[in-house]
Amino acid sequence: MAFDESRQYENLSGPEIGRRVTDESILFLPIGAVEQHGPHLPLAVDHVIAHETASAVVANCGADLDVWQLPTLAISKSNEHAWSPGTLVLSADTIMRVLLDIGRSVATTNAQRLVLLNAHGGNTTLLNTALREIRLETGLKTFLMHPSLPPAYGGVSTEEELGMGIHGGRNETSVFMHLRPDDVNLSLAERKVPEAIAENTHVKFGGSTSFGWLSNDFDPDGYIGDPTGASAELGKQLFENAVSNLSDAMAEVKTFDFGR
């Protein structure tokens, strides 16, 4: 699957927007982050994964489903990592206003569906709220996808990580190794799993009782998981599975109409 410039929204001219973006089109907005991921990964992890995943999905199904890829929103709500110099942070209020502004802007086209692809778990709650706010204000049908659902929101993590490979752990590191192998230094990786939390029944990641946290609450290095077993081969498998699943989901987005 190659990067398909022909389905990049920003490459259309103004008149083309009116002709080629129709009421059957899906607009696809990748959202990442620029934030610390421990010593073994660069700040770019989340926005690279968001952009590359969206590009692969569009290459896979964009022509068939009439999907147009919007420019990647690289900076988002990363305040759980604000303690780390270099992390770029938009406040919750700012990112909500940005998303509403984007929603208002794309609502001037003929498109009726807007899909957010979120590769940063810290955005998840706010983006779910944004779906309703954008729909209320613009009438767009709005959807939220993830390359993989964050473990803190019901997604799975590895058994070895006790369900807590939530930031810079094995799977995320593996995917990034597949996408940017030269930018990973696995020699600096260690196991950083808060094992005591896993013994809780309710107050834990993905448990019935959530809790506020900053990434350095668990360890000064600020990553949570065990990246020591990461590999580009695993990352390739995870990435390709994500693209396949997201493409299947996009087909349902295409026809979704509230059960009517």
- Percent of the chain residues past pLDDT 70, beyond the cut: 98
Neighbours of 101 (CB within 10 A): 10
Find out whether 1 and 54 touch, Cβ atoms under 8 Å: no
Report whether pLDDT(84) > 80. Answer: yes
3-state secondary structure labels for all residues of 57-119? HHHHHHHHHCEEECCCECCCCCHHHCCCCCCECCCHHHHHHHHHHHHHHHCCCCCCEEEEEEC
Domain ranges of the chain: 5-255
Find out whether 155 and 242 touch, Cβ atoms under 8 Å: no
Which pTM does this prediction carry? 0.95
Strand partners, 8: 69
Closest CA to 26 of 93, 101, 116: 116
CATH 3.40.50.10310 matches 5-255? yes
Q: Tokens 């984007």 — which residue?
A: 102
Per-residue model confidence as pLDDT tens digits over 136-161? 999 999 999 999 877 777 777 788 89
Per-residue model confidence as pLDDT tens digits over 166-209? 999 999 999 999 999 999 999 999 999 999 998 999 999 888 99
Tokens of 203: 């107050």
Q: Measured over all CA atoms, what is the biggest interatomic distance in the chain, rounded to whole angstroms?
A: 59
Which residues contact residue 93 at a Cβ distance below 8 angstroms, ignoring those fewer than 6 apart?
A: none
Closest CA to 195 of 157, 227, 164, 221: 164
